Every structure is written in structure tokens, then in C-alpha cells.
A and B are shown apart, each in its own frame.
Chain A
Amino acid sequence: MKLLGKDINAIELLEQIERRLRARGLSGEPVSSAPLDGVEPRVDPLSFNLTALEEHADPTRPLPLHTHRGGFTGRALLLAKWAFRNTCQIFINEALARQRVFNGHVRDSYAQLSAEVLKLRKELDARSAAEPEKKTPAQRKKTRSPRA
């Protein structure tokens, strides 16, 4: 374990506390957590959006039951939602049938467009890599032939 702080004598403090713990018979204390190093990884927006559209294309599929309310009101709300879903699913399907078809088209169009974007990016990268390095304006000036 490390203690961090410019204003403390970390080693001395650590030893002092460990001594006290030993005196209490608590020397082998388990460690419950250690911080993760580094930043969170990047989430690719194109593939995330496609996955999200696929996941939610069917509007008749319910989300997990949830309420932010607590106590009796919260429990009653959850029960009411559960009852509504179970008894009215057939009407939900009916009401959202066209939405389901529309969402499918949105998902497919997005898949097509994002694939095009990826392909074009790849081509652009390849061309940029193949193209000889462009001259700077100063270099162009030097090589320009003098006017008559």
C-alpha cells in the first residue's frame, strides 16, 4: 500500500499504522480494490451506432423494468408497468408495427452508409500514403522559373 501526499511523511505514517494494526492482530488485512491505470478506451462511433440501432430496431421489445422512485410508490409503479406490458403487448405490437418497419430501414440505411464511409476513408488513407509529399509554398517559389 502507498500513501500519497507532499505534506505527510508517508513511510513513517504507514509504519506507524501498520504497527497499530499488528498490535490489534490485524496484519493480514485483505485488499478490496486498486485503482486502474490509464484512460478509458475510445468507443468507435460508427460501430457503436450500428450496434445500438440493431439492438433497438424493434420498438415492441420492452426495456428492463425500472423506476427511480423508492418505497411503496416505486414498487407499485413497477407492478403497474409489468401488468401493462403483460396484458397489452398485443396492442403495443399493433400500434408500433409501422415504427418497427421504419426502424429496420433506418438500421439498414445506416449500415450501408457507414460501410461506405469506412470504405472511402480507407481509400483516402491509401491515396494519401501513395501521394508524394506536397511541396511547401516556399519550395514552390524556389523552383518557379523567372519571368521574362
Chain B
Amino acid sequence: MAVHQLVPNFVSGDATGQAAVQFQAILRRLGHYGELFAEEVEPALASWVKPARALRPRKDDWVLYHHGIASPLSGALLHLPCRRGVIYHNVSPARFYEGTPLWEPLVAGRAQLAAMAPHVDLAIGVSEFNSAELIAAGYGNVHTVPLFIEPRRFSEDKADRTAAARLWRPSATLIAVSRVMPHKRFEDVLALHREVLRLRPDARLLIVGGYQPGSAYFRRLWRAAKQIPNVFFLGRLSHAQLVSAYRTASVFVSMSEHEGFGLPLLEAMAADLPVLAFAAAAVPETLGGSGVAFDEKRFAFLAELVDELNESAALRQAVLKGERRRMRELSSEVSTARMAGALGPSTLKKQRESKQRRRPRVAIVVQRYGEVTGGAEKHAEEIAHRMAEHWNLTVLTSCAKDHLTWANEFPAGESRDGSIRVLRFPTVRGREMRRFNALSRELYSSAQDRVREEQWIWEQGPQLPQLLRHLSESGDRYDGFVFFTYLYLPTAWGLPLVAKRALLVPTAHDEPALKFEAYADALALPRVLMCNTPEEHELIHARFPNHARSRVVGVGVESHRTSPARFRQKHAIERAYLLYVGRVEQGKGVPRLLQDHASMLRRDSHAPDLVLAGDASMEVGGEGVHYLGRISEQDKFDAMAGALAVVIPSRFESLSLVALESFAHRTPVLVNGRSAVLTGQVRRSGAGFVYFDRRSFAEGVREIAAARRQLGRKAAAFARKHRWPRVVHAYKQEMRRILETSG
């Protein structure tokens, strides 16, 4: 059973789209896969949010339609052959819009609300106030699932520094955040500001929110605002700019005469702003006794109150303390529990039968499997091969070999890797790297809202909706799951579906995407995080303090019989050489490595050559450079044993398997000193050097050449501490814990 959502208009910054994405996250926590569909979609989001006409629900699926102003989707919903629900965000009262083009769609929206009532199985109000309107409109099965925000998205560090510097003034600053619409009563906000100016002549008013410059209401407001000093219309802001605006203000004010929920009230609370709001419609319910609500608009009085909130530290602190309490009451956990109640016991996941099996059925979920060069994928394959002796293993993965395009190369469906069953799902859309890189640059530059981050995860891929559906609908066939790599979509969206039975091998490193709050569930919900190094654990703890229990497990390594001479002869390599093994691409720091090596050769003609082995997505060449392409495992071990050192130029590593393999073959490493993980591995082993630039690279090579034998001994000693039996024991122990407690 899937739970799809249908939204009239999906654009960034729109509250309904935000709510749909939030609800999708809580539905995943309840084990329900589902997709988003919309009548109109912002072009940038079109591959993720599908057109409403593409919705083909199965009979037992749910479709939850987000209703507000009139939409043709309300009629379409009634004819969908599935279970139907309405999520009601409220409709602004038409009385504020007499004589405007909005009047009719508003009344029609209420008529549609009543028309849908006899034809839907479930109605959800995002506030008790909205639920009361649903009951008045004739709905039976009505539940309240409040909207929520993620408070950490409004913390100081999420603010846009440039905007904050531009907006900050020491004077008292009122802020009002909302679309500039008649029922929001911005004229009353101006009236209040006028009164505040009598007390504090340097006070400012920031008005944040989209507006139609041509509307009669806005033109009136604009003319009025021009008569009053220090009024700033900031328009619609990006998320980071919005946080800056909240963080530079001193009091949040709402004069709105109708709110179905009032999300900006919570945003202001999360940004540590005292809230002063007119107690209309759902506002008192949303405030829940926090902030200060008032029932009459006496502007001189309210101006004194604003001044008191600014000047009295005791009052301000008491209000802020109450608001923090309210934030806890309206958490995503509360909404998740309410959603579970709304969907009813028949839709909740059945309790799994607790059977003691000799060999538990376990699924490993990984973005690629087989014939791939990639640290995490190789790691997953190693774990699969080792654990196949102990578990009935299925690998759930894509049909891709190439992690850049995710092109389907393996056939979809079932195949075998020895005793391991491999179930491959096709990617529905490949990745266009140029577009993805442009999106990454944009999103990495500042803090984002959830919609943008989830869009990034979708674009990152691999896009495997059938895998997600399999986890949701057939997840009960497995006793436990091991997910690899927090970063990719199968983990970010798939793990929450089966989190209570999941181990996560995060393979996290210090990369910009680890700042995305959208990964919080993937790192907080599993039973345990199987980290590779202490540095990885520390990194995750610093970014996500509420992460799941964590232990450092890593991988095991073995030394193999090697013949360096065989490798030299096969590839015609005569001189001493440094070895790079892995994906030959920009993201791994290879271009910089080639530059550092070329610079070293220019200064010292006796310097070693550079041998690169692995799939390449870039041009490789230069004096003393040997590019071998993909090589066999035996070739790799031969190459490692004969190398002066193995070089690891990547900055982003959660564990270098290559480093461990290198150590197992008594070969030291030269690693990028900007990677905390690699630096930690070198420090703990004493079997290598770190470098930061051309000079330290050349120095490192010289140092290694001078002490190659001693470093090799240290490397071998370190590798002996990383043997497979210890790793296998840890995985068996964690899976046993899951089996003991899940039933």
C-alpha cells in the first residue's frame, strides 16, 4: 500500500508543498512509501513531483489531496479508484476579497470542500480549527495532524551572513512574515509600527512575503507605507535570508484575521523571537499558550507591549522559554503519531511474526553492486560475501554500474552472486551531472528549506521508486537490513521505511551534503550506526547530535600472495612508483594529484612515477604517469606490494579501504592531510605521511623513500588489528539484537 499526495500547486516556498514534503517524511517513518503529484509544478521540481495526470493509484493505495483554494483536483480526486483522503489547509474567508478576482475561487474552494465530504474515507485538518471546519462541511472520519517545523533550520548558523549584516541594526525591529494579502491585515501592522515610532523613533518594520505589485491592496499598502519611516518590504526571501530576517528582528507580529495554522508563528519561535499575535482563527491553538496573543487591536497599547517585550529582559525570557516548550509540543514525532492514528490500525504495518531462524533473512541495500569501483560499494560487497555464511542474504540495488549517470546496465530482476540473491531495480531517470552540479553549487552556498534538500536527494539518486515500494510492501520478508551510505536516495528515503530493523553503515565524510537536515531521519532512526572510524563517529555526532547509537566497526583486510615483478612486467613499469587505486575523477582529488606529481618531477627527475588504476571519468596523462584502467584484484595487490607508497588524494573519506589493503601488503601511504579520517588512520598506524600542498607532497615522498622498510613493518602491524572475524562478530551481534527485540 502506498500513500501518495496530491497538491494543486507545487512551488518552492509555498506552504502546501512544504507540508506535503513534511508529511511524506512522517509517512516514511510509518513505513509508507508514496510519491508527490501536482496540477502545476515549478519546472525545477518537475522530475521529482509528477504531474497529477500521471497518478495511477492501486486499489489499496491512499491518495491524500491537499485542499485550499478551488482546484480541479478536488473533482479528479472523487474519481480515483483507491482510498481517498483530504488534508485541509483552510480557505481564506471570501469576505476579505469582495470585488476581487479571488472572491470566486475562495467560495468555490469551500463548495468543493463540502462536495468531497461524502466521497472520501479520511479527512485531516492541520489544526483543530481546520478539523472543526471539516466537521461543519460534513466530513465523518476527521483527524488533526498539526503542521510542524524543524527548529534547527532556523538556528543562528543557518542565517545568510550577507543578508544578516545588511539587515542588522541595534534599533527595535518588528517583523511580519506572510503573503501580503488583505486578510493578513498588513495595514494594521503599519498602524502598530506608527505607534511604536512614537516611543522609539529609530524602530524598523520588516515585511517579508510574496506580493502582487499590481493588486489594489498592495498598491494601497505601499502608498500608506511611504508615509511612515523605516518600513521595508523585503518580498519573498530564500530560506537563509528568511532566517537572517528573523534573527535580526526583535519582535514578531501577526495582525492576521484568519489563519488555518500560522506556520510563521512557529518559525519565529524557532528563531528565538517573542511572538505577538492577534488571536484570530487557529492562532491561539498554534500558540498553545506561548507567545502573547491579544483580542483587540489597540495600537498604542500594543506599541507599549512591543516596547516592554524589547526592554524587559524578564518578560522576554519568560516568553521565549514558553515558546521553546511549545516547539517541543509541536514536534514531528507528535505529528507522526497523529498521522498513524489518522490512517488507522488497518493501514499500520502488521506486527511481524517472531520466528527464531537459524539463519536470519537479511537485505543489504546499496546503490550499486558488482563490477563497480567505489569504496562504499566495495565495502558492501565485502560485507555481503563475509556475512553470506551466517545470513540468508539478499542485495537490493540498482541496475547501474556508473554512479555518475546511474544508467541501467545490469538487467532488472533477480540474479545470484554465489549464495547471495541480488534483486536489481531500474533507475527511472539518469543523472545529468551538469545540472546536478549546478544545483549542488546553489544549495551548498547557504542553508535551505526541506523542499530544496529533498529535491537534491532526488536528483542525486539513484531514483529507484520500485525499490522503495519493495521495502514498504515486502519489507516484512526480511528480518533485518543493512543500508550502505547515508548519502544516496535508497538510504535517505528507504531506511526510514524499515528503520526499526536497520543497521546503517553511513560512510559519512566531511562533505557539504552532510549539513542537510533532510538526512536527520536516516541517521537518527536506525538501530545502530556502524561507523568506519572514530573520526566518522565524531563528525556525525557534531552534525546530528540526536543520531542513533553508534559503534566503530570498519572493515577487515587480508594479505594476499603477491608478485610485484609480475605487475611490473605486465604493465611495463620499470621505475619506482606511487600508486593510486580508485575512481579516477575530480571528486577524488585526482587532478590535484597529477599536478603535485608533475611539479615533483620537474624539480627532481629521479622522483617516482605515478600509476593510476580504476575507471576514469576524466583525461589522464603526463610525464611519468601510467594509467592502467580497471585492473584485477590480483593485479591490485601486486601493484600495492611493489609501490613505494599508495597515494590517497581524496579529501572526503569515511574509511580508506585502500589504505588498509595497502597496510596489509606492507606498503605505507601518503594521504591528503585535509581529510580528518585519513589523517587519523596515518596517526594511529604510524605507517605514512600526510600532505597539504606540492611541497609537503614531495617531502612526504622523500620521507617514505628514506624509511620505506620501517613504515612497511608498522603498516603490517596495524593491518593485523583489522581482521574480518572481529567485523563479522560485530554485524552478527547487532543483527541478533534486532532479532531479539523485533517481533
Contacts and interface: CB of A to CB of B under 8 A. Distances in A.
Interface in A83-109: none
Interface string A109-128: 00000000000000000000
Interface in B627-674: none
B133 A40 contact: yes
A69 B219 CA distance: 11
Interface string B198-216: 0000000000000011110
Contact of A3 (B136, B188, B294, B318): B294
Given A4-B279, A48-B108, A63-B101, A68 B289 contact: no
Nearest to B256: A35
Contacts of B517: none
Given A33-B257, A66-B100, 10 more contacts: A4-B292, A6-B289, A8-B315, A8-B318, A13-B305, A29-B299, A32-B298, A42-B138, A48-B111, A71-B213
Interface residues of B, number: 57
A35 B308 CA distance: 24
What 9 A-B pairs come out closest when comparing CB atoms? A70-B213, A7-B322, A45-B115, A6-B289, A48-B111, A43-B110, A68-B212, A74-B214, A4-B293
A66 to B, nearest CB: 5
A79 interface: no
Interface in A6-21: 6-8, 13, 16-18, 20-21
Contacts of B185: 33
Interface residues of A, number: 43
Contact of A1 (B115, B257, B284, B295): B295
A78 B214 CA distance: 10
A80 interface: no
A5 interface: yes
A41 B188 contact: no
A66 B104 CA distance: 14
B97 to A, nearest CB: 12
Interface in B283-322: 284, 287, 289-301, 304-305, 308, 315, 318-319, 321-322
A102 B100 CA distance: 27
A69 B216 CA distance: 11
Interface of A: 1-8, 13, 16-18, 20-21, 24, 26, 29-36, 39-45, 48-49, 52, 63-64, 66-71, 74
Contacts of B91: 40
A46 to B, nearest CB: 8
Interface string B260-280: 000000000000000000111
Given A17-B305, A48-B107, A34 B133 contact: no
Nearest to B222: A70
A21 B299 contact: no
B12 to A, nearest CB: 19
A45 B113 CA distance: 8
B132 interface: yes
Nearest to B295: A2
A72 to B, nearest CB: 11
B99 A64 contact: yes
Interface in B546-595: none
B48 interface: no
B213 A68 contact: yes
A107 to B, nearest CB: 16
B114 A42 contact: yes
B330 interface: no
Given A13-B308, A48-B107, A70-B213, A33 B297 contact: yes
A17 B111 contact: no
A40 B284 contact: no
A24 to B, nearest CB: 8
A80 B107 CA distance: 30
B315 A13 contact: yes
B281 interface: yes
Interface in B109-142: 110-115, 129, 132-133, 136-138
Contact of A7 (B112, B136, B308, B321): B321
Nearest to B291: A5
Contacts of B322: 5-7
